[in-house]
Amino acid sequence: MQINLDNVTQFINQSDLDDQSVLNELFELLYAKVKQLASIQLNKLNPNESMNATQLVHECYLKLNNSQNLSIKNRNHFYSLSARCMRFYLVDLIRQSQSQKNQGINTELKLTQLIQEEDLDLKLLELDRLLNQLYLIDEELANITELKFFGGFTFDEIAEMKELPKSSIFKKWTMAKSYLINLISEEQNNKQD
């Protein structure tokens, strides 16, 4: 089957994703969008960082390529997996940097990107930890947060991925932000006690 943007889902469903040539073909077709996701992630971290989007995409490809029993449902699921791979890679990079006591990447992220309030900073590692907690509370809310924050997807794109109305995605996003704010507040209160 000749793969193109119109038949990606059909190609995925009819192909053996354990075959490296199939994954290569899929990745090549969807490369432009995955690179756009990488640019979004890197710009949120630090627009002047030495790592570029191409490097991040290649790291994502390696992670996907080394996955055992890779299961992809459709094009949007592929984008979601790519965003998650990039998140994990960047978090690992920061952890490695911290353990070596290097300055590494500027890991400061503005929480204003989540809640539109000034003067609140959140480190990438903290966000990663909070997202992991949110996954335990509500996997769908955490996934929407990951797609919105790390993938840079619009509400329309997330709605298409989840096959839900945009209004439902927006409500879930609002609920996810509320959970994150509560988790942060609980942690701050526990530190004060």
Q: Which residues pair with 110 in a beta bridge?
A: 121
Q: Report the pLDDT value the prediction gives residue 20, as an integer from 0 to 100.
A: 76
* pLDDT (average), residues 130-153: 89
pLDDT at residue 100, rounded to an integer = 60
**Domain residue spans in the chain?**
1-103, 107-193
Residue 51: closest CA among 116, 105, 128, 123 = 105
Question: Which of the pair, 129 or 169, is modelled with greater confidence?
Answer: 169
In CATH terms, the fold of domain 107-193 is: Arc Repressor Mutant, subunit A (1.10.10)
Integer-rounded Cα Rg, in Å, for the chain is 18
Gap between the Cα atoms of 23 and 115, Å rounded: 37
Instruction: List the Cα angle 62/60/32 in 5-degree steps.
Output: 115
pLDDT in tens, 45-72: 664 456 788 888 888 888 888 887 778 8
Q: How far is CA 144 from CA 84, 134, 186, in A?
A: 11, 11, 22
